[in-house]
């Protein structure tokens, strides 16, 4: 201070004034920083001490362990679910609000006109309308639990408002959250059915192919060549799917999962071990919220979607279970003939039927409200016009099981309390959408599997490959596969059960399930490891979940190299092939070979499908499965039009290799041995507000991390269009049935939705490196919060 004073003596008046202004600004800025930091910190959840909570009957104990997992212990069901709602809202209220708005088609209210396409689409689908219909058929007990959970969320909102502790994201977006309702919880559940997809996109793609390419060439891109060639409807006005669905919101085709269970004959403990890692979007906060619930008749631990009560996947003191997506054909596009004079009437069996017309008003921030007319035929909403006018007299409607009234929460509450395979399977009767592959293990040694859910029965001679004529009775679904006839396995002789979105039904299975399955490589690798090993441990299961063996590359790289023998290649291309020839086929982040293989594979697809518009390629669901089969046929010497028209398999490989090498040299330099998969394969758990650049520095956990694995390895890590890994397993789980007082978990990037929380991104490195945390059902240690009744 003395130095500043001495130096200041010689300053001119304007310099002194400038210093004064700068000093004042500095004080103001520091004050603002301190104020903003204090304001943001106020929103951090109270995790110690006592909170009076309106509506509780008795005190509730909430222990947050070292990984931020809340262990909620209540004396009754009412208090348990009220506390679950409160605690979840403490950590994830902003995520819950956005999820509800997205699924309900109400983002425009807070985002503005940029969200209109999304809102129009979800209002047209009617996920919230389906949730309302579902609520009507729920039992009074389930309705009570939904209400108790909502009461807990609303108690949090009341406290946060009165104490000025709302998360800063609400302030930044100008959102005032509304009271939570049971319908909000069910709507989020319906959105998860949407996110796990269907297959209408592939039907639209096939429809497009048959109207733009020769029939034989079009059929080559069908997932399987149909035994009975589908009828192509040419006499009717063509619905331009490229134009109609240009703004459709499509679930990521990589959404899938791995799960497996082994019995005691193959484990060191002599009891079953179960593992599960569902593959969904990777973002901040995680799509999963890990929780432990304890009350009379409840002691269950696992994960649930923020905004929904109960535990959807996990374990209790008696059993453990895991899920993967079955991926059945549960969506059917119908071509509808509209009355030439009345746009709300549609033909069915020579009679005109009146459609259900719903007027939806979409409020738009800083804009005028937008009115949307939703038209529902006997099959479902007309979706070919949600974005653009399509055809005057012909439209496409969507029949989808998730738009029916369904009772998934009833099932969740029953399986949370199940003690045996019999009681667990009984609970599954109420789990209808999305159809899931459930694997199960119990302390008595039983392991089991069921492909569970509502799967439609197609009329004889019909299939789910193309849109069907909506005016013909025989094209209607013939009910659903009976519950007792769904694929099921209990205690198989081989000692294990595994699924990875692979084909599940044997050839003699009497019902159609799906034409499109995931590429088989993840399942093949899981089966390879489980069949070869015994004396398995939890650590073995964790290692398998992180396995990076690429069986697709193991199959195709030798074929690629053999096909290019004797072909003139540049020195850099020769060097690239040399690297591939010595590869161990592991998608290791530190190797060059995975980078080369995946880039080459992408360029192969771009060469083969260059005649298909980019916007239609998004509808080419399970493209990898089809491409692999085309390549196999070409290598066997069979004629494949898509490849022959590009000069044959050798020409396709040569052209695509040249493109790949040029691009890789441009992006990664000329020294091939310095290339690394991790340089182009990095994970960043992106926050919804990070599209605003300045906010990304706060809300995105940290710089993207190099990561191994890929879309075809057991360690699922799939790149998005921006080159960043955005799909994989946000949660990994292993349970040893010899001791169900604990289990191993990983929830990335962390448990909390508050960026200043210690649990915001503490599991990001764990996700990359395969480090798990133990969650206990008893003797928990951590910060303790007591929720007590008011007064």
Q: Tell me the binding residues for Ca(2+).
A: 329
27 Cβ contact partners less than 8 Å away, ≥ 6 residues apart: none
Q: CA of 611: how far to CAs of 246, 312, 623, 643, in Å?
A: 17, 43, 15, 12
The beta strands (E) that lie in 161-297 are given as: 256-262, 273-281, 288-295
List the alpha helices (DSSP H) in 506-635. 521-532, 538-545, 551-563, 571-581, 593-608, 614-617, 623-635
Q: CA of 67: how far to CAs of 233, 331, 746, 760, 762, in Å?
A: 57, 40, 9, 10, 8
What are 522's strand-pairing partners?
none
* Alpha-carbon torsion (682, 688, 691, 693), positive or negative: negative
Helices 521-532, 551-563: inter-axial angle, 10-degree rounding:
120
The beta strands (E) that lie in 377-480 are given as: 394-400, 436-442, 447-452, 468-469
Annotated binding site: 329
Length of the chain as a residue count: 791
Of 108, 134, 244, 257, the catalytic one is 257
Alpha-carbon span 401 to 432, nearest angstrom: 8
Query: What Rg, from alpha-carbon coordinates, does the chain have?
Result: 28
What are 467's strand-pairing partners?
none
Alpha-carbon span 719 to 691, nearest angstrom: 18
Q: CA of 376: how far to CAs of 380, 385, 540, 665, in Å?
A: 5, 12, 51, 53
CB 383 within 8 A of CB 125: yes
Q: CA of 614: how far to CAs of 211, 605, 611, 628, 653, in Å?
A: 17, 12, 9, 20, 21
* Nearest Cα residue to 482 out of 446, 453, 448, 441: 453
Alpha-carbon span 569 to 540, nearest angstrom: 43
User: With the CA atoms of 472, 478, 479 and 482 taken in that order, what torsion angle do they form, in degrees rounded to the nearest 10?
Assistant: -170
Reply yes or no on whether 257 is catalytic.
yes
- Count the alpha carbons within 13 Å of 783 in the hemisphere toward its beta carbon: 15
Torsion angles phi and psi, residue 202, rounded to 5: -70, -35
DSSP 8-state code for residue 343:
T
- Report the relative pairing of strands 682-683 and 724-728 from DSSP bridges: parallel
Catalytic residues: 257
């Amino acid at each position: 201070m003395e130095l500043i004073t001495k130096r200041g003596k010689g300053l001119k008046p304007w310099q002194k004034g400038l210093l004064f202004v700068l000093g004042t600004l500095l004080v103001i800025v520091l004050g603002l920083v301190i104020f903003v930091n204090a304001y943001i910190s106020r929103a951090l959840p109270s995790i110690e001490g006592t909170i009076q909570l309106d509506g509780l009957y008795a005190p509730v104990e909430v222990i947050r362990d070292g990984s931020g997992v809340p262990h909620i212990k209540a004396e009754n069901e009412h208090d348990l679910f009220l506390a679950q709602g409160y605690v979840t809202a403490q950590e994830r209220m902003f995520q819950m609000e956005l999820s509800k708005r997205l699924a309900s088609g109400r983002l425009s209210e807070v985002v503005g006109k940029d969200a209109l396409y999304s809102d129009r689409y979800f209002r047209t689908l009617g996920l919230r309308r389906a949730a309302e219909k579902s609520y009507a058929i729920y039992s009074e007990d389930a309705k009570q639990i939904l209400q108790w959970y909502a009461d807990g969320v609303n108690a949090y909102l009341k406290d946060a408002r009165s104490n000025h502790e709302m998360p800063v994201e609400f302030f930044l977006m100008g959102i005032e959250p509304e009271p939570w309702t049971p319908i909000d919880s069910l709507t989020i559940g319906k959105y998860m059915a949407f996110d796990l997809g269907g297959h209408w996109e592939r039907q639209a793609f096939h429809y497009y192919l048959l109207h733009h390419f020769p029939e034989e060439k079009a059929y080559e891109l069908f997932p399987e060549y149909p035994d009975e060639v589908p009828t192509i409807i040419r006499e009717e006005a063509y619905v331009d799917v490229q134009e109609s669905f240009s703004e459709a919101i499509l679930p990521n085709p990589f959404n899938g999962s791995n799960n497996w269970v082994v019995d005691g004959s193959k484990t060191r403990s002599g009891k079953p071990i179960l593992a599960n890692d569902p593959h969904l979007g990777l973002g901040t906060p995680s799509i999963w919220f890990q929780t432990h619930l304890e009350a009379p008749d409840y002691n269950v631990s696992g994960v649930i979607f923020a905004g929904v009560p109960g535990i959807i996947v996990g374990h209790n003191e008696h059993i453990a279970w895991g899920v993967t997506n079955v991926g059945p054909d549960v969506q059917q596009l119908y071509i509808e003939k509209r009355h030439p004079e009345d746009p709300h009437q549609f033909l069915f069996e020579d009679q005109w039927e009146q459609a259900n017309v719903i007027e939806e008003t979409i409020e738009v921030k800083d804009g005028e409200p937008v009115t949307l007319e939703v038209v529902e035929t006997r099959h479902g909403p007309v979706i070919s016009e949600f974005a653009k006018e399509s055809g005057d007299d012909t439209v496409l409607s969507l029949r989808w099981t998730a738009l029916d009234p369904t009772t998934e929460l009833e099932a969740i509450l029953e399986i949370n309390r199940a003690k045996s395979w019999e009681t667990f399977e009984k609970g599954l009767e109420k789990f209808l959408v999305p159809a899931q592959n459930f694997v199960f293990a119990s302390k008595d040694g039983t392991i089991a599997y069921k492909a569970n859910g509502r799967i439609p029965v197609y009329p004889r001679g019909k299939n789910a490959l193309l849109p069907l004529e909506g005016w013909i009775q025989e094209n209607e679904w013939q009910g659903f596969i009976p519950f007792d006839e769904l694929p099921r396995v209990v205690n198989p002789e081989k000692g294990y059960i595994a699924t990875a979105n692979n084909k599940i039904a044997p050839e003699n299975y009497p019902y159609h399930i799906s034409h499109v399955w995931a590429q088989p490589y993840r399942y093949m690798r899981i089966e390879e490891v489980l069949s070869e090993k015994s004396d398995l441990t939890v650590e073995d299961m964790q290692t398998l979940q992180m396995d990076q063996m690429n069986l697709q590359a193991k199959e195709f790289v030798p074929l690629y190299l053999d096909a290019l023998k004797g072909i003139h290649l540049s020195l850099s291309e020769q060097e690239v092939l040399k690297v591939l020839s010595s590869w161990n086929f592991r998608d290791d982040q530190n190797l060059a070979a995975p980078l080369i293989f995946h880039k080459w594979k992408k360029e192969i697809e771009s060469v083969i499908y260059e005649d298909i518009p980019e916007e239609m390629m998004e509808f080419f669901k399970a493209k990898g499965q089809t491409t692999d089969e085309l390549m196999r046929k070409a290598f066997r010497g069979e004629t494949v039009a898509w490849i022959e028209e590009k000069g044959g398999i050798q020409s396709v490989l040569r052209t695509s290799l040249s493109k790949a090498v040029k691009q890789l040299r441009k992006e990664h330099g000329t020294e091939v041995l310095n290339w690394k998969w991790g340089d182009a394969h990095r994970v960043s758990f992106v926050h919804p507000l990070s599209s605003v650049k300045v906010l990304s520095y706060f809300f995105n956990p940290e710089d993207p991390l190099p990561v191994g694995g890929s879309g075809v390895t057991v360690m699922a890590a799939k790149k998005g269009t921006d080159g960043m890994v955005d799909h994989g397993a946000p949660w990994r789980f292993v349970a040893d049935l010899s001791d169900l007082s604990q289990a191993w978990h990983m929830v990335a990037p962390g448990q909390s939705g508050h960026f200043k929380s210690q649990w915001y991104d503490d599991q990001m490195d764990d996700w990359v490196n395969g480090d798990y945390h133990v969650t206990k059902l008893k003797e928990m240690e951590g910060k303790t919060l007591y929720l007590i009744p008011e007064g």
